[in-house]
Each structure stands twice: as structure tokens, then as C-alpha cells.
Structure 1
Amino acid sequence: MGTAVDLKNIVVVGHFFAIKIVEIGVSIVAKVAEYLITPIGRKFSYLCNCNDNLENLRKEVEKLIDARARVEHSVADAKRKGEEIEQDVEECEKAAREAKPVAGLHETGKFHKVSYHINPEKIWLTLSKGYQAFDSRISTFKDITNALSNPSVDMIGICGMGGIGKTMLVKEIARQVKGHKLFDEVVFVDVPQIPDIKKMQGQIADELGLFLCEESESGRARRLYARMKEEKKILVILDDIWARLDLETLGIPLGDEHKGCKVLLTSRSRGVLSREMDSEINFLVGILSQEESWSLFQKMVAEGDCIRNHDLQSLAVAIAKECAGLPIAIVTIAKALREENLFEWKNALLELKRPSWRNFSGVQAAACSTIELSFNFLTGEDLKSTLLLCSLMGYTYHASMLDLLKYGMGMGLFKDVNTMEEARDRACPLVHKLKACSLLLDSHISEMFAMHDVVRDVAISIASRDQHVFTMRNHVVPQEWLDKDTLKFCTAISLHKCDVNELPEELECPQLKFFYMYPKDPALKIPDKFFAGMIELRVLDLTKMHLLSLPSSLHLLVNLRTLCLDQSVLGDIAVIGELKQLEILSLSSSDIEHLPREIGRLKELYMSKSFDQCLDELKHLSRLTTLEIHIQGAKILPRGLFSKKLERYKILIGDEWDWHEWDYHAIEDLYLGELQDVKNVLNELDAEGFLQLKHLHVQNSPYILCIVDSVEGVACDAFPLLESLFLHNLTNLEKICNGRLTAASFCNLGIIKVGNCNKLKSILSVSIARGLQQLQVIDVTECKSMEVILGTEEEDRISSNQEIELITPRGIQKCSLTAEAATNEITFSKLKSLSLSYLPSLTSFC
């Protein structure tokens, strides 16, 4: 029989049936028949009907395959919903694996439910429209994905101001980690401002294709918990959280409960991430660069093809710049202007440059509303008031904590605070919290902070709307600002680098508490009666003005607490002495000749680069607690100045110091240069021992013989809080310390640097060295007579030496270490850096 026939062999592989078609000849069929037909009761006609039998078998197998597919779909759908599988279904599957007879399986596999639920791919996970990979964020993107790959990290946070692009970023991260199989499942949840647990649970369930029939939050949480544990690797994204969320209440397993589950959070508040959610790693999303802003703006406007118009090109560049790197502002404005005419573009730029008049209307409303929402969520009026005050401060890029303290103290912003130190302790946490909420920014300069332009605009708008504040920056001040009805309720006026042609004879502002003016024209005249109608004024700042005499109406400001006359040319300032409530006076970088003797009630005085003569006038300030001053031409520092027990001071004496280099260092700083008649710094300048001083710099003073001299034989306290000591070019300095000192002396010293002091034979004595437990840096250079680093005084016992090896520029050299030092273990446990160079006379370290 030469005719070939088809035979289908059934092959069981795992849970699935595979059908393999094989062509065989009659001889093979006969062989198969030999095995299939039993010797007894089989008819020869069965072989003749082989084709019919095989066709029946094929149909039965096809039915079984279809039935199995239906069962598997139903089983997968049920498992996705978190349901248990019926026992008979489990047995049917087991029978399939054991290859039981086909006909029996076909009958057993008949089930009522044949349909199954399809869980569509998430739209946000498949579309990346609108995302742009900015260069400034590529490294952050990589760092976040690397953190997600770290098996030891469960929770990651991303923070940044509203509208900065956090949501777009995390969605793109989700797309990539899903595409690269880093996670089997990704869930994205929008967190409401006031969390609705039940609604959020429903959102998670939808993402997972899970049907929740439970009514209670706890029941739904248990179902979600069990469903998530079925996923080997799952990422849950909780977007825009405002306060602590209980993941257990939601039903999210984490940590040891499910090693494959990770949570990615976004928030405007760094504090919410780190303190309330305990996220292990937090990343900050910053603003776009100017080039990136322009690129995004062009992309958003491109459909309208309008910026090829030459007239619009320059406007577009200016508008993109005014958006200050905030993506939501750029996108919103660009789309709004896409089909608009030239006049609308000009009006948009005008709105952006005059934020206090916008009140969140116009093209930037969406961007502003996100910032206002962050403002509304600030807890406590002190935080809100601090932010609004920051928006009024006259700065272009960075603002100083010191200015905030001056203004805040004057305005009474810090409740129950009496001293600047207490104010600083109150203000620093407030600024830190505002930074954590992305409403203030870090500065690259210590003691400074910054505010994003859009945040400032929103804060000014809020202040204008809610507190009747008038502010203008870098523009011509319109005549409307003199409207009497407006001024009647005005509480603050801030005019920064504005064109003010003329001031009225008197400004009637009965509720005004804050007045700041920095005019473009420093010769702007202030009429004598100008301040007569500002009886409630508490803070007055007139910057960069030429005033031959201060307006006589100034003496009427009986409530004035803070007066700043910085960077000004000042003549007669005697009227300041009549301000009985004045506590803070700032004359930094101003040209003045004399201080009024009547300001003896003053607590704080700031005068960098203001004097060019002796400071004897300062002796009359009996209540002075804070002093910051730089006298470039002074040769004499008044004796007894520090016996006034100044709590805070930063004093620079001499021409060589650059105030701006030291302007933002810690308080309690003293920089002495070119002193002509001082031989002993401690004895002649402060007999009490500079109890508050933290940083001492002395240079270019040939008359100084020692820093501390207790020649009386009685141990004295010297510099107990000093953290750094810098001595340079003191050509006649013989000793840093002479005589006995108490154990508290120099006990906080962390850095000592000595250079070009050619008569100095040692730095400190062994007895003093034992107390230097905080010492981290020793740097000695170009001291020709330096024999030892740690020398001996008469009370130090001298005994035999032992040698140590020092690595020097001339190679490894052996130096002697006294046995006394070795046995008493002079240990600098925190020492990080030891630098000894150009010391030709050095014989031993100790």
C-alpha cells in the first residue's frame, strides 16, 4: 500500500498540548496497528477505517486544546483577582499533566465560565509624549534607576518644587525599568492632597487588574497585599504625597514582607520623604538651564510655527527666560501663545515681569496655582510669614540669613525672641523647612539662600492680595502706587532698583510696617516730611543712596526697630539718636564720619567698610551685643572693647582683608591686621580671654610678641571656644602662649595654621597639647626658627627622648618625641592633616 496517511501524535509539555504531524507509510501504520489492536475481539475492518479513526482523534484533541485554553484563561483571570481555584479545575489540570485518555479529559474539562478578562496595557506606561531628556537630569535619572536596582533599597524619594517635572520623570523611569524587565509590574498612584485610602486602593487594584469586592479598607488592604506578593518584582509609584502615608493601611508589602516590592515617592517636601516616610535615598529635581528652557519652549510652540517670525523671536527668548527654568510655566505659556498675535505675546511678557499685578490670572495661572498650593500647605503662620518676607527682600540672586534676621527681628516675626542668637535659632529651622518644601533653594554660598523667580512672583502676589503689599522690581514705578485708598491699607512697600522720578512730600501709610527702597538714581531726594505718615513703621531699608542729611521726619518713627542704610554716602545722621526703640542699625559699606552718641541703647551694629579711624566711639554702646565691622584704615583697636561681653561679633581690622571673602563665615570672628601698638592680643584687647571667639586671624602686625601671656603666674582662661587659629607674617612673634593656662583653654581648637613667623620656635607647649582633643589640622610653613612643634614650658617635665619618623619634603626623617609625651599619651585622635614645610631648624616634633 503505497498511499501515505497522516498520524497526529499527542505530546504533553508542561500544561500545554502540542500536536506534531508526521507522515508515515502503510508499513508503519501496520506496525502501529499491531500495538493498538489486541489479539482478541478486534476486527480487521478497524485497520480499513484507520483514516476515519485518526480524524476523530484529531477532532477530539482540538476540542481538548480549546477547552484547556478556556480553562487557563479563566484560571489566570481568577488568580489576577486574587481568587482561589476550584478543586475540580485543579484536578483537570493535573490529569492533563498525567496524559489521561483524551475523551475523558474532554468531558471533565467542560466548565460553565468560558470568557476571561483582559487587563489592557497602561496608557501612561506606553506613551512618552511630552518627556524630554534634559542633560541636567540625565545623571539624576541614572542614579534613580541604579537605586531601584539595588536589592538593599526598598523606598526612594524624589523631591522638587511644584511644576518642576517630577511626575514626567517618574513615569519615564517606570517605562524604562518595565521595558528592561527590571520589574514585572509597575503601579502608578496619584495621591490626593487629602489622602482617600479607599480610592487609592481602588486605583492600585485597577492597575493590577484586580477586582475588590471588600467594603472595608482593611479587607481591601489584605486582598491587595496578597495580590502584590504574587508578583516577583513590582514597583509602586506614589506621586505627589503631602504627608505621611501608611503603606500597610494601603496594602503595600515592603521590606522583609516582600523583597521584590519597591516604592518610589515624589513630593514637594524633602521632610515628608525623609522624616515621615523614612525613604532611604532622596533625589532633588532642579530647574532647567537657560538652554534647556529655550529648547522646551521652542518644542511646545513648534506646532504653531510662529517663532520664525523675527518680531516674535526676541519676545519668545525673553518669555522663556522669564519662566526661570520651571517646566510647567514654560509649557503652559508656550501652548497658550502658540497661535496668538504679536500683541498677546507682548502682553504675556508684561504680565510675567509684573507679577504683583497678575494675581494668578493670565497665561501662567497653572504654574502659579501649583506654587500657591504649596504655600497653603505650610503649617504655621511663621513659615508663611517668613516666605512672604523673603519675597520682599531686595536681592537679585541670593539673600543672606543676616538680612532675614534684621528684618524678622524688626517686624517681630520671631515670637518670644530677645537676642539675635535666639532669632537665628528660630529662623534657621524655618528656612530649612522652606527649602525642604522646595519654596526656598540652597545657595553655593554659606549663610545664604535663594528663591526661584516664579516662587517669588507667587509669594509677592499672595502678599499683595492678602496683606496689601506693594512691590516693584527693575521697572518704572507707576503713578498708581501713590493712590491714597491703596496706601491707606498698605502694610509693606518694596522698590528694588526701580525708576522713581520723584517722591511725594509725605506718604500717608498709617499701617505700613516695612519700607525698602533701592532706587536706580542714588541722588533721589527724600523730602523732610516723607516719613511723617508712617507712624507704625518697624523696618526701614534705604540702600545705595546719597543723603547729605537724613529727613527730619525720621525721628517720628517711634516704633522703628531696624534701620538699614547700606552702601550709601551719608552726611549728618544725628537724627538716628532720637529713635528710642531702635535696636538694629546697619551701615555696611557706607561712608560715614561719626556715630551719634545717643545710640547707646543700640543692641546690634553692622558697619563693614564704614570707618577709617579709631573705634573709641564704640565704647559708648553699653548695651551692644552684636557687632560686625571692617575698618580698613584703622591702626588701633580700642582697649576694653571685648570686655563689653559681645555675644556675636565679626571684626576685620586692616587693609588686607576682603570682607566679602569672610562675610558668610561663622559669627564670633576676629581678623587683626597691621595693629601698631598691640604686643599681647589677649591681655591688651580682652582680659577676660575672648570667651565667645570662634575664629582668630592675625597677620602683618610686627609689634605682636605673643597671643596669650599669663606672666602673673596664675593660670588664665584663653579662647575656650576657639575653633580656628591663623597666624601669618608676624615677624616678631616669639610665643603663641606664655605662662600657665587652664584646662579649658583652646579645648575646642580644630585648626591651627602658622606661616612666615620667623622668631617662633614652637607652636604650643606639651601641657596645652594634651587638651587639644578636637584638633584636626596642623599646618606650619616658612618659620625659619621653628625647632619643635610642641615645646616645653617650665612646668613641663623634661625627660629622655624617643625617636619617631616624619615624612617631610626631604624624605623620611627621624625626630625625637619626649618620653614624658609618650607616657602621658598626647593623642590627636581626630587629626586629619599634618603639613610641615620649609622649616630648616626643625629637630623634633615634640
Structure 2
Amino acid sequence: MDIATSAVAKVAEYLVDPIIHPFTYCCTYNTNFEKLNNEVDKLKNARESVRYKVDDSRIKGDGIQHHVEKWMITVDKAINEVETLIADKENSNNRWLKGLCPNLKTRYQLSMKAESEANAIAGLLEKGRFDGVSFRTIPEETWLNSTQGFMHFESRTSTLKEILDALSNRNFNMIGVYGMGGIGKTTLVKEVGRQAKEYNLFEKVISAHVSRTPQIKEIQREIAEKLGLKIDEESETGRAGRLLERLKKETKILIILDDIWGSLGLEAIGIPLADDMGGCKVLLTARSHDVLSSKMDCQKNIFVDVLNAKEAWSLFEKMTGDCIENGELKSVATEIVKECAGLPIAILPVAKALKNKSSLYVWKDALRQLKNKSLLGAAYSSLELSYYHLEDEDLGGEELRKTFLLIGYSYIRNVKDLLYHGMGLGLFQNINTVDEARDRAHTLVDKLKNSCLLLGGWRSEWFSMHDVVRDVAISIASRDQHVFAVENEVVPLTSWPDKDVLKDCTAISLNNSNINELPQGFECPQLKYFRIHNDHSLKIPDNFFTGMTELRVLDFTRMHLLALPSSLGLLQNLQTLSLDYCELGDMAIIGDLKKLVILALRGSDMKELVGEIGQLTQLRLLIAPMLPTESYSPRCLIELIPIRRTIYW
């Protein structure tokens, strides 16, 4: 009996199922396609959600996970296939006998395909539930992929080879490069780093600028950022420990520390020197041999000399173009190159200023300004000459010159700060929006770089100014615009200018200031710009701003401002207020600054964004730290709605 039952079941499996199975697909034809459409809609929504996250990550400069990119390609292909299947459904012959009966064979095939595609799409939906779509990339320094700026002269090539040989020597872990200011040390060591990376001497090459007043935290931040390392510790020692731990894991890394002026403790920064257990090789640049040999204990120091006469002429000729082939100009050009004394920082700006100038009197005037000067005087004269020759058909030389001086005496180093300060001073002409001003700031910086008056930074929006160039800029600004600028650790501020000088002063800039108290009765009726970078507590008299009502830009950086002075409310012409990286308390007085256009509070320690900010009806740009929602008063949130598009967190 059991054998008979089994036999009947087997017969049914082979004879009945092949009939029932296709019939089932025919019956579920519409259901399967409805399910497929629903699954496709879900997949399209999921794809758009992932695509938004991917686009946002790319804008931020992050890399995209490989499996995410692969999923998106598979999804696009699957959606295309489904759309083809749906088109086949619409175009297929689904009925026969003159439309009286459905075409069962076609329906069976399409229904089965729809079910299969729906199941596949459901699987793709499940795989698309990503915890994250991106990863943080470590941007490589732009100069590592460019030879621009390096002069392939015999003297430079031989020096470069000497440095590379020293870096290849296992006995040397710290090498110094020295020469006078403006000789081209920075350009040379960058080319060393580029070739060292290209020839696999090192897996990583990173650089940091030290300057005359080294800021340990800034150096640590710069190195850590280029390593892709996040440092949360506030103390220098804690940051040094974290950096040391990371760098000891590197086996082939070169760190370039540019512009050393005195003793610099590598351990205090967190840089371990190379040994058999890992660590870094360090390449230093300085103006003094004693700094490298006595204060930094470099095992080998390499001198960079001025260009010889042939090299200097070749560089000048390359920069000025064909115009010096004119017999009269060539004789004057020869004298100009001689006055520049082989100093690239003198040759390049003069050559840029005279490029394609065909008038003999322009060249003779340039020569007269360079004559009878010492070497440093020649550099100063050449830089002043390039400043006075700043001109542009689109922007106008006056705007470029003012930008150059502002960067010089304000010590700003990026386009954002130039934007904030420049807008406050009304520097940018014929612009109507913040975006237009930002474009103009980028353009002006590029113009100054092309004129050899600014150096590039490790990212496109950053820049630096050579010390000699800055000295010239401050000298011109002091003489022509009555600017008072001091870098305190270089020229200690022992006393303020007398009252007569202050009455004519248009700008005051104190960089790395360690003064403890601002003076009473500060009468500066012409003052438009006031900046103090102070890492210490600074006492500000409550009536301090009463004598500077024309002020347009006020920048207090890294200060303890638990209570803003009441006289701040008198600054009715103030356009830009920057309180970056400050400890801030009561800020209600800000509501009185009715003409304020830019308010910057980057990195500041503050408990709340006060409602009085909502009274600033002219505000176009607010840069504030991210605060919890409850830290914004309701009135502040309501009032800020009109400028929301220009808030940058």
C-alpha cells in the first residue's frame, strides 16, 4: 500500500507539478510585477540616500568605501534591467486569439523573471544598509607632485644631491640646510622631499613651518593633520606623547622643519629621531649655521649660496621674457641683475615687475632705485619696486597693494581671514555678496603669489609671506598708512606710541603679544583696524573703545574675555568682529553693533549663542562653534533665519 502511494505521489510530481507550476506564475503575474515595482521604488530611494551621503563625503574630501561604490554600480545595473523588463512587459504580446485569451507562455516567463528580479532587489536593499560610506583621506602636500619653482641650476642641483646623499646615510638622522634669507632654502628642501619620495628613500614626507616665534601646538597640529592623526589633548606634553606614539610606528618618514631661528626641542613637539626601531629623519632650514650646529646638533649642515652671475642672469631672463633682447634694455638689465647680487628673492620680484615692459625709462628708474644699496638694501628696494609695480587690468593695482600690506601687518595666513578682514575694511571693490568677496580674495592671493610676494601653503587656501617681504610690507604700511605693527617676541612692546602718533594711526596689529593690560585713554580717531593675538589674560579697560569710533575691524584672538567692555557698543562703524579661540562670557553688548557684517567665533569656549545676535540685521556671515540646540535662545533662532544660508559652522 505504501509503495503504491509513493508511486502515485511520484507520478504527480512529474506529471502534475510541471502543469501547476507555470499556471501559478500566470496567476501571480500582476502580483509579481506589483511587488517588483515596490521593491524598485525602495531601491531607488535607498540609492538616492546613499548617493547624497557619498556626494557630501566627496565635497568634504573624504574617500568612498570600495564596497559602497561597487554596490551603487550594481544597483544602477539592476534598476536598468528592471526598467527593461517592465518595457518588455508593456511591449510584449500578452494575449492571443484576437485578444480574447492571455498568452500564458509569455506571462509565465515575465512573471517568473519579475519574481526573480524582486528577490534580487530585496537582497540589494539589505546589503545597502551601510554603517558609513566614507573614510578620512590624508591629503598629500601639493608640492610633492610639482617641480614648479625649483631652479635647475648647477649650484642648486649639486646642493640637492648633497642633501639627498646625507639623507641616505644611516649615520645621519638630522640634517641642516642654511643660507641667508631669500636664498631659496624652502624651495630647495621641497624639491629634496619630492625626489626623496619619488626615489622611495621615504614612504612619507611632511613639512611644518617653524618661524621666529615657534608655536609648539601649531607645529604639532600641522604634523598631526598631515598624518591623518586626531589629537584631542590640550596640553603640549599630552599632544607630544600622542604624536610620538604615532611617529615611532613609521619606518621611513622625513619631516621638514622650515625656518628655524633658535633651539627647538623635538621631544617637546613629539618627533622621535630615526633609529633601528623606527622614527623620523629630520631636515631643517635656518639662516644661521650656529643654530643648526650648536642649538640643534645637526650631524651635517649644508650651505646654500647665492646664485652665480650666469645663473642669476638666466633666472632673470627666464622671468622677464623676450623684451631684454632689446640692446638698450639688455645693458640696463645687466646692471639690475648685478644689483640683485644673486639673491632669488630680489631677482624674482624685480623680474616679475619688469616683465614685458618695453619702455627704457621704466628700466632706468628701476635701476636707480637699486643703485648704491647694500645686499639687504637691494632686496628691500627690489621688493618695494615689485610692490609699486603691482597692477592688474581687471582688479587694479591699488586693491592688490592694499591686500599685500594687510597680509603683511596682520600676519594672516589663509584666504578665509583675508575675506573677513578685507570685507570689514571695504577692501574689495564692486562686490555684492560674500561668495563674490571670497572669489576676489582667492584671486588677489593668486596674483600676489604670481608676483612672488606670497608663498604657497600646504593647501591651496593657505599662504605664507617671507620674513624679508613682511618686513618690507610693514615698513611701507607704517610709512604710507600710519600702521603700528609689532611681533612681540621679535620686537618686545615696551611702550605704546605717543599720543600724536596714535591720533594718525589707521591700524594696530600686535602678533603673539604678551602685554598684560591695555592703556587708558586710548585716543585713535583714525583707527580702522585693531588686532591682538594674545595667549594670556589681558585686562581691557571698560572705556577702551571710546576714542576709536571709526573702527571697522576688531580681531581679538586667543584671549580670556569673560566680560566684553561696555564701550564696545560705541563702535557703530564696526563691520568685522573676530573673537576666535577665546574664552567668552557675557556677550550681550554685541547686540549694539548694528552695522556688523561678519562675526567670527571659531573655536571659542562659550556656553550659549546669545539672543542679542538676532538684533544684527546687517549680519551676512556668522562663524560659530557647534553648540547644543538648547544653547540658542528662541529669539536668536527666529532672528537668524534670514541669514541662515551664510552661517558657516
Instruction: Specify the TM-score bucket, using the shorter chain as the normaliser.
Output: 0.3 to 0.5
Q: Give me the TM-score of the superposition, normalised by structure 2.
A: 0.39
* Higher relative contact order, structure no. (Cα contacts within 8 Å, ≥ 6 residues apart): 2
Pick the structure with more strand per residue.
Answer: 1
Q: Which has the higher helix share?
A: 2
Could you state the TM-score of these two structures normalised by the residue count of structure 1?
Answer: 0.30
Larger of the two Rg values belongs to structure = 1
